[in-house]
């Protein structure tokens, strides 16, 4: 048990020195609140950006046909390189760096009809893996294209959430039949809403997705519009690209170093940029946080110093009246701990309150949803507490180590 003078004395002192107690508590309240909010918003913004980037898919690259720019084994440059679904099957069979791959047949303006609603939208033919790569998640009660659909060339369609709304409104869509250019298809799934800022051929939410085999038959398609590749998570996209250039280069006889032969969008490059950007952003936040802490700490220290004169005299009086050194110090310790706890906790709660009402302000499109990081809040409280504590305890210790008469006369 701390040799506290007595709770009564303690609370009397706190109550009487209202201003100092209040200012110090407020300093800690403010510092904690500012830092917690800073990091909550920082995290919200970062997450929002990363999420919308992920809407396209993680670790993926898209390959389009290209035109050779180098002569190769006697063949001239300027040849068109295009590919078929068989090529993708070959890459899937041979490539060791690829985790997923899917061909993509595409038709831009397909008439999609349900009842009286008719829309012209893009329809693509893909493999089941396409969904996983591109973060296309089926909504409740839905499923994406599967292997049986491919094998059976089933006339089934998975639709984007906006397209579903256009066609069905709030009515259920799964199990219903819609017409694609007059051909009936059964809706097997609806995409769960997702945030997607980047795309290479329109947003997924207004597209229709059908099995590649069905697409091929229905439109007598031979060439792919493009294919999508996901590299193994432990590897880099560079390795995957090199491997695919090698495989297709062997097949279509182009120089594997001829980057123009295929047209590639490596989304991991953008991701790498975003990650660097947000690392810098985080560093910036840490900088502001540290500055806030220092400012808060100086504020607390100042308040402590303003009252130092009064406090030293008070300590002298108490010692003259028989207070032991440990009683005086423990009072300071408990006082600082209480002020820190109250200030820190209320600062944290206030920040929490702001963060909680934030989603109702409908601003999340711009800056995401702020997320509180408890450990940051705790860290802020502890750091400000240490500063305040140091500011309070050292003068107190110095005073308590004096002879009573010295403390009385110090100022």
Q: Which residues sit at the interface with another protein, rule CB under 8 A?
A: 5-6, 8-9, 12, 16-17, 310, 313-314, 316-327, 403-406, 408
Cβ neighbours for 47, distance < 8 A, ≥ 6 positions apart? 368, 369, 371
Nearer to another protein by Cβ, of 241 and 311: the residue is 311
Phi, psi of 24 (to 5 degrees): -65, -45
Shortest distance in whole angstroms from residue 402 CB to another protein:
10
Nearer to another protein by Cβ, of 6 and 177: the residue is 6
Shortest distance in whole angstroms from residue 367 CB to another protein:
47
Nearer to another protein by Cβ, of 183 and 320: the residue is 320
List C-alpha distances in Å: 230 to 6, 202, 302: 69, 20, 58
Cβ neighbours for 376, distance < 8 A, ≥ 6 positions apart? 35, 36, 39, 289
Shortest distance in whole angstroms from residue 50 CB to another protein:
55
Nearer to another protein by Cβ, of 13 and 166: the residue is 13
Shortest distance in whole angstroms from residue 334 CB to another protein:
15
CB 103 within 8 A of CB 212: yes
Shortest distance in whole angstroms from residue 378 CB to another protein:
34
CB 101 within 8 A of CB 89: no
Nearer to another protein by Cβ, of 25 and 53: the residue is 25
List C-alpha distances in Å: 188 to 118, 138, 269: 19, 9, 34
Nearer to another protein by Cβ, of 4 and 338: the residue is 4
Nearer to another protein by Cβ, of 186 and 406: the residue is 406
Shortest distance in whole angstroms from residue 30 CB to another protein:
25
Shortest distance in whole angstroms from residue 336 CB to another protein:
19
How many residues does the structure list for the chain? 411
Cβ neighbours for 236, distance < 8 A, ≥ 6 positions apart? 268
Closest alpha carbon to 52 in 371, 368, 273, 372: 368
Q: How far apart are CA 219 and CA 80, in angstroms?
A: 22
CB 4 within 8 A of CB 327: yes
Nearer to another protein by Cβ, of 253 and 325: the residue is 325
Shortest distance in whole angstroms from residue 411 CB to another protein:
13
Q: How far apart are CA 259 and CA 254, in angstroms?
A: 10
SS3 2: coil
Q: Where are the alpha helices (DSSP H) in 17-139?
A: 18-54, 85-94, 129-133
């Amino acid at each position: 048990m701390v040799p506290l003078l007595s709770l009564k004395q303690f609370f009397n002192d706190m109550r009487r020195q209202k201003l100092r107690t209040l200012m110090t508590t407020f300093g800690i309240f403010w510092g904690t609140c500012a830092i917690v909010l800073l990091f909550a918003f920082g995290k919200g913004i970062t997450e929002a950006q990363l999420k919308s980037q992920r809407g396209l898919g993680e670790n993926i690259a898209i390959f389009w046909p290209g035109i050779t720019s180098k002569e190769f084994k006697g063949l001239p440059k300027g040849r068109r390189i295009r590919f078929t679904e068989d090529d993708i099957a070959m890459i899937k069979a041979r490539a060791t760096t690829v985790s997923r791959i899917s061909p993509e047949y595409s038709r831009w303006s397909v008439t999609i009809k349900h009842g009286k609603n008719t829309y012209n939208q893009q329809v693509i033919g893909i493999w089941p893996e396409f969904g996983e790569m591109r973060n296309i998640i089926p909504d409740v009660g839905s499923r994406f294209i599967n292997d049986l659909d491919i094998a059976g060339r089933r006339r089934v369609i998975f639709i984007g959430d906006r397209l579903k709304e256009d066609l069905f409104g709030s009515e259920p869509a799964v199990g219903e039949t819609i017409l694609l250019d007059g051909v009936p298809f059964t809706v097997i799934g609806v995409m769960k809403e997702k945030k997607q800022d980047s795309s290479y051929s329109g947003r997924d939410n207004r597209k229709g997705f059908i099995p590649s085999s069905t697409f091929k038959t229905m439109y007598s398609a031979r060439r792919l519009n493009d294919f999508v590749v996901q590299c193994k998570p432990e590897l880099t996209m560079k390795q995957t690209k090199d491997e695919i250039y090698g495989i297709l280069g062997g097949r279509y006889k182009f120089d594997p170093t001829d980057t123009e032969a295929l047209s590639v969008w490596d989304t991991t490059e953008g991701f790498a940029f975003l990650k660097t950007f947000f690392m810098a952003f985080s560093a910036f936040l840490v900088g502001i946080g540290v500055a806030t802490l220092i400012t808060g700490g100086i504020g607390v220290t100042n308040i402590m110093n303003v009252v130092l004169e009064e406090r030293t005299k008070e300590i002298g009086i108490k010692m003259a009246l028989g207070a032991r050194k440990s009683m005086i110090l423990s009072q300071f310790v408990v006082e600082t701990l209480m002020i820190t706890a109250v200030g820190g906790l209320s600062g944290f709660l206030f920040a929490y309150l702001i963060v909680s009402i934030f989603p109702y302000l409908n601003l999340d499109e711009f800056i995401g949803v702020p997320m509180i990081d408890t450990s940051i809040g705790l860290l802020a409280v502890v750091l400000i507490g240490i500063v305040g504590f140091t500011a309070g305890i050292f003068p107190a210790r110095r005073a308590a180590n004096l002879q009573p008469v010295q403390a009385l006369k110090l100022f």
